[in-house]
Structure 1
Amino acid sequence: MVSTSQTELAGARRPSAQGQNQQVSDFAELTHQLESAGLLRRRYGYYWTKLSVIVLTFAACGLLFVWIGDTWWQMFTAVIFAVVLTQTAFLAHDAAHRQIFKSSKWNDWISLILGNLFVGLSYAWWEHKHGKHHGNPNKAGTDPDIGFKVLAFTPEQEQSRRTPLTRWLVARQGWFFFPLLLLEGISLHTIGIRRVFGRGKLNRRWVEIVFLAIRLGGYLALVLLVLSPGKAAVFLAIQLGLFGLYMGASFAPNHKGMPIVPKNLKLDFIQRQVLMSRNIRGNRFIDTAMGGLNYQIEHHLFPSMPRPNLRRAQPIIAAYCAKHEVRYTETTLWHSYGIVVRYLNQVGLRARDPFDCPLIAQRRSF
């Protein structure tokens, strides 16, 4: 299956009372089918094993770091840390979506412990941002994942880049996208700190502050105690850079390069989640490496479905989409990266009407 282009929104259904009722009925049937197959049940054995392995891995990484000592071999340890931190972030993501436990409180605390205390990211920031994304993926002015200040995802964002330098960068932004992800680790930590010290309402603010202080302060202290300043700087640069690159490269294939939904366009739930999402084809290694995010369509339709069940749900949901003539997009990882680069360059170069949506034109004719 190939990538969905913006013009394919032309066939999208416009919601109506009768259509919505039928959609609810069809989706209830799909849900029942997944429930009957046991795919919505909690996977406690899987997740307790994951949680135990994460704790033991962190302990082993800490001991290894101290044992190796002040040597340039620690740069390989930095790579290991980046992978472990990203895998831990994936597990925190599962908890935030209520995939691990039935209890919301248990999921919240696991997200706080994994996200804030282990990884150093703010759970409250992630929950707010990611919730808005799931509600309206790729919708202009609503989805924060296409609201970057550095990159332009729509022609309107491109036109707001006023200076010659920013216009030059945006025109080539596709080639800069993956190098920029090397700064994403620092950005994620900084945004989290700003969130917990911001003025907005925040549940468990002091818990988040204490966890972040222990994680970020303690980690920095450990690195400086074991390594000389020069080695510590290189170690942190490698670890933060690869952490950001790994995180970004795992999330980018899911929606980047899929259709952008105009602010005033309303789609039914199925199309809003499926047409704007892309699956990554692969094997169990891809499943593990991407933390289950390669099943993005299934995840968006059933966010609380446990990660290990997504693979089994995929053929059922693909068949459902085919039956109801909803475009189901799936491609390889490397092809998806090519789509992302070309898409961003297309926006930056302001190709002629690249986001003109035929459905909008169709509605104007009424």
Structure 2
Amino acid sequence: MRTVRGQGLLERRTGWYALGIAANLAALAGVVTAVVFVGDTWWNLLLTLPLAVLWTRTAFVGHDAGHFQITGDRTVSRIIGLLHANVLLGMNEAWWNDKHVRHHANPNHVDKDPDVGVGALVWTQKQAARREGFARWLTRNQARLFFPMLLLEGIALKIYGFQFLRRQPVRERALCGLLLAAHLGLYATLLLTVMSPGKAVVFALAHHALFGLHLGMAFAPNHKGMEMPDPDGPRWGHMRRQVLTSRNVRGAVLTDWFLGGLNYQIEHHLFPSMPRPHLRLAQPLVKARCAEIGMPYAETGLVESYRQALRHMHDVGEPLR
């Protein structure tokens, strides 16, 4: 921490983020304009891909705002998060931050990390043993179904956000609910004024499927298949808890862009408020520190990261097969 702070790697890069946000908003406006000009034809489905990619860029901005990577001002960070999550994506910023903060505090801990809790997928053989009926079949086949299931994630994020409204204080519920409703209204108005209802439904489904797939592919390599602390064992120290449960993905500029900087997952977990462009600069320092104290540092290629995650999901379902 002293070395990282001394090199200025925790200082905000507000200008870098401002340019990135402006470029992303301009690109979104350009795609929306193209949707209007293409009009009521099936050719409009081709625009679901760039729109899904830009929505994922938007989600990355919301993620970074939640970590105060863009600015240390909590009010400004909240406004950025609400704009990018609630208004542009229809995803409840409060739900995401609540879940994500708990994940960062105890990554891969089955009792404390919501990302490895029992859901459509399970992450330990103990969880798998309790599955019954359709859920049991799903667990047996979860590795091969993982990527197809990501096609539903874009819609699921909206559902989770609305469900979370019940847990929010009244004023927060009103604000977040209003912004989520505004997103749905604007999205539906755009599609239904440009194309027929049938084409609009197909466009929305294709768009959300591609968005969920891209977003899931960005988050899947980070922790799946990495070490999981024993809930009944001793509590791990901070560095062990963050490093051993995380996996980095090797690559260059394209990988950084595709994964939104989350390919430096170890550095992100050790320094969650570090601006995205500084994560790659902190990596040599973290690797050196891990080597110095004899702590494993997991880093692999993108395809291999998916293979390791899928192998873990396959192994979890093995007793049921």
Query: What TM-score does the superposition give when structure 2 sets the normalisation length?
Result: 0.96
Q: CA deviation at 1:200?
A: 4.0
Structure 1 residue aligned with 2:180 = 212
Change (3 A) 1:88 1:202: farther
**Aligned residues of 2:49 and 2:210 also touching (Cα < 8 A):** yes
Structure 2 residue aligned with 1:109 = 79
Structure 2 residue aligned with 1:184 = 153
Q: CA deviation at 1:199?
A: 4.0
Provide the rounded CA distance (Å) in 1 between the counterparts of 2:51 and 2:171.
29
Give the counterpart letter for 1:138 in structure 2: N
Provide the rounded CA distance (Å) in 2 between the counterparts of 1:334 and 1:297.
18
Structure 2 residue aligned with 1:9 = none
Give the counterpart letter for 1:213 in structure 2: A
Q: CA deviation at 1:166?
A: 3.0
What do residues 54-100 of structure 1 show as CA deviations (whole Å, max 9, x unaligned)?
Answer: 22122212211111101111111111111111110001100100000
Structure 1 residue aligned with 2:4 = 34
Structure 2 residue aligned with 1:319 = 288
Identity of aligned residues (%): 43
Structure 2 residue aligned with 1:249 = 217
Provide the rounded CA distance (Å) in 1 between the counterparts of 2:6 and 2:318.
49
Structure 2 residue 293 is the aligned partner of structure 1 residue 344: no
Structure 2 residue 46 is the aligned partner of structure 1 residue 82: no
Provide the rounded CA distance (Å) in 2 between the counterparts of 1:116 and 1:44.
22
Structure 2 residue 297 is the aligned partner of structure 1 residue 328: yes
Q: CA deviation at 1:202?
A: 6.5
Q: CA deviation at 1:169?
A: 2.5
Query: What TM-score does the superposition give when structure 1 sets the normalisation length?
Result: 0.85
Provide the rounded CA distance (Å) in 2 between the counterparts of 1:200 and 1:70.
40
**Aligned residues of 1:83 and 1:243 also touching (Cα < 8 A):** yes
Give the counterpart letter for 1:240 in structure 2: H
Structure 2 residue 175 is the aligned partner of structure 1 residue 195: no
- Number of matched pairs: 319
Structure 2 residue aligned with 1:260 = 228
Give 1 or 2 for the bigger CA radius of gyration: 1
Give the counterpart letter for 1:328 in structure 2: Y
Provide the rounded CA distance (Å) in 2 between the counterparts of 1:148 and 1:37.
41
Change (3 A) 1:171 1:285: same
Bigger RCO of structures 1 and 2 (CA < 8 A, at least 6 apart) = 1
Q: What pairs with 1:283-294 in structure 2 (closer than 5 Å)?
A: 283-294=252-263
Give the counterpart letter for 2:185 in structure 1: G
Structure 2 residue aligned with 1:169 = 138
Change (3 A) 1:203 1:324: farther
Ranges in structure 2 where 5+ consecutive residues have no aligned partner: none
Ranges in structure 1 where 5+ consecutive residues have no aligned partner: 1-30, 352-366
SS at structure 1 position matched to 2:155: helix
Structure 2 residue 280 is the aligned partner of structure 1 residue 300: no
Structure 2 residue aligned with 1:140 = 110
